[in-house]
Amino acid sequence: MNSIGLKHIKFTVIIFIIFFNTCDFIFSQTSFENDSFYKKDTIVTQNQMFYQFLYQFSFEEADSVMQIANKNNAYLNNNLMQAYLLWWKVLSGENMEININKCEQVINANIDYYFSNKKLINKENYLTFLQSSIMKLRIANYRNQKVAGFSKLVTLKEEFNNLTQKSQPTPDEKLLLGMYLYFYEYVKEKYPISRLLLNGMTPGDKQLGISYLEQCSNSSNQVLKTQGNYFLYKIYNDIQADYLKSLEYITFLKDKYPENLVYMIEYYKTLVKTGNLQKSKMLQNKLVQDIHGASHLSKQQKNHFLEILKNLEI
């Protein structure tokens, strides 16, 4: 059976799982109207499937799961999922300028919604709002507007200050805290002018930030595990230039998601930086071949990745 057939079967099975989870929820509601456990369990399952499909570069499947999940999710979480789908399309080279603008619009809508309904926001939506704020920072970084991006977070000082005061943060909070604590110090050191902007915000702590991200990278939750590994990779690769250390994290990601060309190309780049030129060249040739033969990639996406590899030629 070819890969397309297997992919179709896998997606069909996933949809049935979601369907039966939803049926369990509907059935349970008829008997236990006040019990929200089943609904919450269904939402978690759907959300995790959505992110798994994203990381596997299965955008159509991710979009289909998102449409189903939207019926149960809160407004902020629906927007965040849409933003992540748009973000990964940008990384894949699909209509990059259009999708990055759409992504930012969705994130801005989340932030505006939070401040308009602040008194009604529960803990789950509060975390989604903070994740949206971090996405705002990532968009600014993508546009090479690091200081401007971080300055936008200054308007959220109350929210992040409250988060940093927690003595026992949850795993989701640790991911956000890890990023905040590390990048606060990084921005302050890299861009001294930003110190005025950071006045009044809880000081960062690089080591504690990395510790939180390490805990996420070892989580049993695959979404947290993936994000923890990715942000640690970016820290060690892009900021600390510790390429042997960054190789550990990107190796995990490319092994976990071999279909993800973003991770595969980052792995290739890190191999070059660590001096493994023979292995790098072999991987480059394989990637070029795989990209040409990838049925799930559009011509635009193929050209995007081929151009990246061309510019990285050893």
Token pair of 152, please? 């936008």
pLDDT in tens, 212-223: 999 999 999 988
The answer as to whether 313 is a domain residue is: no
Q: Look up tokens 């059935």; give the residue.
A: 27
Average per-residue pLDDT for the chain: 83
pLDDT in tens, 255-274: 999 999 999 999 999 999 99
Does 49 share its domain with 89? no
Does 43 share its domain with 108? no
More confident residue, 58 or 127: 58
More confident residue, 26 or 236: 236
pLDDT interval class at 281 (50, 70, 90): very high
Residue 119 belongs to what domain range? 74-142
Please state, in angstroms and rounded to a whole number, the distance separating the CA atoms of residues 253 and 258. Answer: 8
pLDDT interval class at 11 (50, 70, 90): very low
The pTM assigned to this predicted structure is 0.82
Token pair of 160, please? 């992040």
Please state, in angstroms and rounded to a whole number, the distance separating the CA atoms of residues 66 and 32. Answer: 26
Q: What is the 3-state secondary structure (H, E, C) of 48-81?
A: HHHHHHHHCCCHHHHHHHHHHHCCCCCHHHHHHH
What's the average model confidence in pLDDT over 18-28?
Answer: 34
Cβ neighbours around 161 below 10 Å, total: 12
What is the structure's pLDDT at 130?
85
The answer as to whether 97 is a domain residue is: yes
The answer as to whether 11 is a domain residue is: yes
The answer as to whether 192 is a domain residue is: no
What is the structure's pLDDT at 146?
66
What is the structure's pLDDT at 194?
74
Residue 196 pLDDT more than 90? no
Does 58 share its domain with 80? no
Residue 31 pLDDT more than 70? no
Does 40 share its domain with 89? no
- The domain total for the chain is 2
Please state, in angstroms and rounded to a whole number, the distance separating the CA atoms of residues 161 and 155. Answer: 11
Please state, in angstroms and rounded to a whole number, the distance separating the CA atoms of residues 231 and 210. Answer: 9
Boundary of a domain, candidates 48, 73, 98: 73
Q: Which residues contact 272 (CB under 8 A, 6 or more apart)?
A: 280, 312, 314
What is the structure's pLDDT at 93?
97
Boundary of a domain, candidates 116, 142, 168: 142
The answer as to whether 153 is a domain residue is: no
Taking alpha carbons only, the member of 92, 93, 86, 94 closest to residue 62 is 86
The answer as to whether 184 is a domain residue is: no
Boundary of a domain, candidates 92, 111, 142: 142
The answer as to whether 303 is a domain residue is: no
What is the structure's pLDDT at 149?
66
Taking alpha carbons only, the member of 274, 288, 279 closest to residue 242 is 274
Does 112 share its domain with 98? yes
pLDDT in tens, 288-299: 999 999 998 999
User: Does the CA dihedral 166-110-51-186 come out positive or negative?
Assistant: negative
- Most confident range (mean pLDDT) of 9-23, 109-123, 298-312 is 298-312
Residue 1 pLDDT more than 80? no
Maximum alpha-carbon separation in the chain: 64
Least confident interval from 33-47, 89-103, 157-171: 33-47
The answer as to whether 63 is a domain residue is: yes
Does 1 share its domain with 68? yes
